[in-house]
Structure 1
Amino acid sequence: MSNQAASSCSLPTAAGDLSASALQILAVGWGLTALIAASGAALAVIKWAVMAYLIWLTIRVIRKAKPDDPKTRGAKRNISLGNLWMQRFLTSAANPKAVVFFATLFPQFTSAEQPF
Structure 2
Amino acid sequence: MSFNFIMMFSMTVFIASIIPGPSMLLALTHGIHYGAKKSMASAMGNVTITFIQASISIAGLGTILMASETAFQLIKWAGAAYLLYIGISILCSSEMSLSTKNLNRSTKKNSLTGMYLQAAFVTAGNPKAIVFFTAVFPQFIDPGMAYFYQFCVLMTICTFIAFSCFMIYAICGQKIVSLFSKDMVGKHIKRIIGSTFIGAAIGLAASNK
Task: Flag the structure with more relative contact order, 1 or 2, with Cα contacts below 8 A and sequence separation at least 6.
Answer: 1
Q: Does 1:66 align with 2:94?
A: yes
Higher helix share: 2
Instruction: Give the Cα–Cα distance (whole angstroms) in 2 for the partners of residues 52 and 8 of structure 1.
Output: 28
Separation in 1 of the partners of 2:45 and 2:75? Answer: 21
Aligned to 2:45: 16
Is structure 2 residue 115 aligned with structure 1 residue 90?
no
Please, which moves more after superposition, 40-49 or 54-63? 54-63
The two structures have a TM-score, normalised by structure 2, of 0.41
**Residues of 2 paired with 1:14 and 1:85: CA distance?**
7
Structure 2: 5+ residue stretches without partners = 1-33, 149-209
- Alpha carbons 1:35, 1:42 under 8 Å: kept: no
- Identity among equivalent pairs (%): 31
Aligned-pair RMSD on alpha carbons? 3.1
Kept after mapping to 1: 8 A contact 2:42/2:116? yes
Following TM superposition, by how much is the alpha carbon of 1:14 offset from its aligned partner in structure 2, in angstroms? 1.8
Gaps of 5+ in 1: none
How do residues 37-52 of structure 1 correspond to structure 2 at under 5 angstroms? 37-52=66-81
Report if the CA contact (8 A) 1:25-1:102 is conserved: yes
Q: Distance in 1 between matches of 2:143 and 2:64?
A: 17
Comparing 31-40 with 97-106, greater Cα deviation is found at 31-40
**TM-score (structure 1 length as normaliser):** 0.67
